[in-house]
Structure 1
Amino acid sequence: MRRVLKATLIGGCVTILACGAAFASGGGSGGMAGGSGGAGDLQNLAPRYDPATEYAKAIAAMKAQQYRDAARAAEHVTDAVPKNPDAWQLLGAAKAGTNDWKGSRRAYEKATKLSPEDARAHAGLGLALANLKDPKAQTEAEWLKSKIQACGDSCPDAARLKAFTEQVESAMNPAAAGAPKPSALLDRSLLFGGAKTGDAAYVQAVSLINERRYDEALASLDKAAETFGPHPDILTYQGYTWRKKGDYARAETYYRQALAIDPKHIGATEYYGELKAARGDIAGARLMLAKLDKLCAYGCADAEELRRWIDAGGDPQKN
């Protein structure tokens, strides 16, 4: 019988910043860890800063146009979760607000490497390059134009792609009135939508996963991640969805990010163990199971599910 996933609201106490490190249990969180409980070869310690809280601080500072504070908080996020593209984009926008175009360029370069098809990242990089008088800005403008052509006028992203292209081309024009505000490259829901928007996207994503509509689920999870930043529940479901799509390597990157933030996250531990079992790494799966047995020793459905995978030598649904 197919397992049905459930979600708990992430921004349940108005904003994630107000909640501090009390993560929701949507992915089976055990709360923010402060000590041991590492996952095999993962670090045993949680990061110094709660990246989801720092992400929320950066968004609040961006909204108040306090760009130095935004950059400082965003740097805490990139330090804690260096493979999170949303964090690098936020840092790039904050650096642009302080006219640190070299810093903005470096941040957006990181974002484009981590998320090569993200138009926001390419637009941000184009703006930074244009303000540095770097001719490579034209390359980013051409990339955006190619996306417009492939998308077509009826594409849901058509208006946004055109706006991005116009912003980069305006910055390339010496006669331009001035560079766009850094917030122009951030989704308006980040600055004005708040936790309610992110919660809606997150809950919708879990429903879509249960319906096996994985591409749509990933789009909703991306929206939730833009609102809440690198939250372990979101990262866990991103990993789960990519695993269901058969991309085990990408799935692993999300599980590892979730566990780097919260080493005691039950859902990420279980699903990472399932991934290892699916790859034939039964020894690795047993390590995850041993950890789960310590985290939720009594009647733990997560541990029992992983135990089924190990006993089956992989996905029990395929046997």
Structure 2
Amino acid sequence: MTIRKFILAIFTVFAAQLLAAQIVFAAGSSSSSSTTEAEAPQSAEFAAGKEAIDAKQWDAAVAAFTKVTASEPDNADAYNYLGYAQRNLKNYDAAFESYNKALAINPDHKGANEYIGEAYLQVGNLDKAEEHLLKLDALCFFGCAEYTMLKRAVEDYKAKQS
């Protein structure tokens, strides 16, 4: 294979990954969680919590995911969603606690790394947000929606600061 063909092949793979991330971003996905969610069966309470998040019913989501985390203390996805709902209620201390529990269970949880980074931006801590962006960069070799979304949030934050 010539160098030109090799570079073209690499570019094509990169472009496809970037397009896939853009499609997910454009769809407005609020469920940026790890693959464990798709693999594990979900309880009725977990499903109710996701429905509440989709409907932006943050108090109902907090109630549902609080029950899920009580019955499933090793469920990183549930802690991630709980943190997401708490953050949307502007209860940042509780959100950080939930995200940190998700990351203690699964340090490579893409959704929790994205969401905690966004929360750090909301409280004005760019350095911590960028730490999680670097973590996502390491986790997403060819890019992923979580990396793309947090990167855009960091860029928007920096643009507003200047």
Q: Deviations over 1:83-125 (max 9, x none)?
A: xxxxxxxxxxxxxxxxxxxxxxxxxxxxxxxxxxxxxxxxxxx
* Larger relative helix fraction: 2
Which structure would you say has the larger Rg?
A: 1
Find the aligned partners of 2:143 and 2:106 in 1 and give their Cα distance: 22
Structure 2, gaps ≥5 residues long: 1-25
Instruction: Provide TM-score, normalisation by structure 2.
Output: 0.72
Find the aligned partners of 2:109 and 2:35 in 1 and give their Cα distance: 5
1:283 aligned residue (122, 127, 130): 127
Find the aligned partners of 1:30 and 1:290 in 2 and give their Cα distance: 20
1:2 is displaced (CA, Å) by 8.4
1:260 is displaced (CA, Å) by 1.2
Find the aligned partners of 1:270 and 1:285 in 2 and give their Cα distance: 9
Q: Deviations over 1:226-266 (max 9, x none)?
A: 33223110001111110000011110001111111111111
What secondary structure does 2:143 align onto? Answer: coil
Q: Deviations over 1:132-182 (max 9, x none)?
A: xxxxxxxxxxxxxxxxxxxxxxxxxxxxxxxxxxxxxxxxxxxxxxxxxxx
1:210 is displaced (CA, Å) by 1.5
Identity of aligned residues (%): 31
Contact 2:120 2:126 in 1 (8 A): yes
1:29 equivalent in alignment to 2:34: yes
1:69-80, aligned counterparts within 5 Å?
A: none
1:5 partner letter: S
Find the aligned partners of 1:223 and 1:287 in 2 and give their Cα distance: 30
1:282 partner letter: L
1:141-156, aligned counterparts within 5 Å?
A: none
What secondary structure does 1:313 align onto? Answer: helix
Which runs of at least 4 in structure 1 moved beyond 4 Å after TM superposition? none
2:80 partner letter: T
Find the aligned partners of 1:248 and 1:294 in 2 and give their Cα distance: 26
Find the aligned partners of 1:228 and 1:250 in 2 and give their Cα distance: 18
**Aligned residue number for residue 185 of structure 1:** none
1:4 aligned residue (29, 37, 43): 29
1:249 equivalent in alignment to 2:93: yes
Contact 1:28 1:268 in 2 (8 A): yes
**Aligned residue number for residue 14 of structure 2:** none
1:213-232, aligned counterparts within 5 Å?
A: 213-232=57-76
1:126-275, aligned counterparts within 5 Å?
A: 199-275=43-119
Instruction: Provide TM-score, normalisation by structure 1.
Output: 0.38
1:299 aligned residue (134, 143, 146): 143
Find the aligned partners of 1:285 and 1:30 in 2 and give their Cα distance: 22
Find the aligned partners of 2:128 and 2:62 in 1 and give their Cα distance: 27
What secondary structure does 2:43 align onto? Answer: helix
1:225 is displaced (CA, Å) by 2.1
Find the aligned partners of 1:30 and 1:202 in 2 and give their Cα distance: 15
Contact 1:202 1:234 in 2 (8 A): yes
